[in-house]
Amino acid sequence: MDSARCGALYSLVRQKRPLVHHITNRVTINDCANITLCAGAAPVMAEAPEEAAEMAALAGALVLNIGTLTAAQVDAMLLAGSRANDLGIPVILDPVGVGATRMRTDTVLRILDMVDVAILKGNAGEIGVISGLGGTVRGVDSGGVCGDPIEVVRECARATGAVVAMTGEVDIIADERRTFIVANGTPMMGNLSGTGCMAASVTGAFAAVSDDMTAASVAALAAFGLAGERAIGCSSGPYSFRTALFDAMYALAPDDLAAGVKVRVPDGV
């Protein structure tokens, strides 16, 4: 996975402006819509079960986020996910707070059972819970993962069949054959609610234009992280950083990504 490929994928996002359908977190829904726009894609937020499948059929990718979960939303996710699968549209699942409550855990397991999830993006605690190797979640925040994070991500990919992206101080992305580490980003991203949700939206934009979900995940997280690096120099705290993050994502060009990506294969792989 070289830097030029990351830039090329981002160029496709900008050229094609894919529609990314979200059934997502009500706390961060506006930020998710705006970061999708700033990345060069087009967002739609349609969670009514009566239209979720129809809207999914129009999209280039479907992002499911369980941050503010309701029973009706679960129904919509399953309907939209099934329709996306029928049409070969990639599904990105952000299992926010899985492990914190029985409803969240049961919902994630149900989605993974009934929907072919292309990309599973979560924090360390969430991925640890889903992998079965152990992780802790406090509310919707990560409490950490048990054991080697790289092995946890690999095991989760083996268990689910999805590309797994664990976000954190560095991002770890793995499928059943390949593993990558993305070191783009800034600690300030952890001081702002919704950056994980926004990362899933950007991932959806890249997945919509790629046949390789691992490459899409790597490029998307590198782009979002690089936007964060650029935003930190234009901010004095979390909320000015939020504004600067949108501006930096909007201003980021494919050549900027190709020049600034920090991706490597872990030692020993």
pLDDT in tens, 102-118: 999 999 999 999 999 99
Question: What percent of the residues of the chain are helix, what percent strand, and what percent coil, each to the nearest 5?
Answer: 55, 20, 30
List domains and CATH numbers for the chain: 3-264 (3.40.1190.20)
CA distance 51 to 76: 8
Q: Give the tokens for residue 191.
A: 């001081």
pTM, to two decimals: 0.94
Backbone angles phi, psi at 132, to 5 degrees: 85, 0
Bridge pairing between strands 42-45 and 61-65: unpaired
Q: Tokens 């993006």 label which residue? A: 121
The number of residues in the chain equals 269
Are the beta carbons of 13 and 53 closer than 8 angstroms? Answer: no
Instruction: Note down pLDDT in tens along the chain; length 269 residues.
Output: 789 999 999 999 999 999 999 999 999 999 999 999 999 999 999 999 999 999 999 999 999 999 999 999 999 999 999 999 999 999 999 999 898 899 999 999 999 999 999 999 999 989 998 987 655 454 444 445 556 889 999 999 999 999 999 999 999 999 999 999 999 999 999 999 899 999 999 999 999 999 999 999 999 999 999 999 999 989 999 999 999 999 999 999 999 999 999 999 987 65
Residue ranges with strand state E in the chain: 19-23, 42-45, 61-65, 91-94, 119-123, 135-138, 141-145, 163-167, 171-174, 179-182, 263-264
pLDDT in tens, 214-226: 999 999 999 999 9
Bridge pairing between strands 119-123 and 163-167: parallel
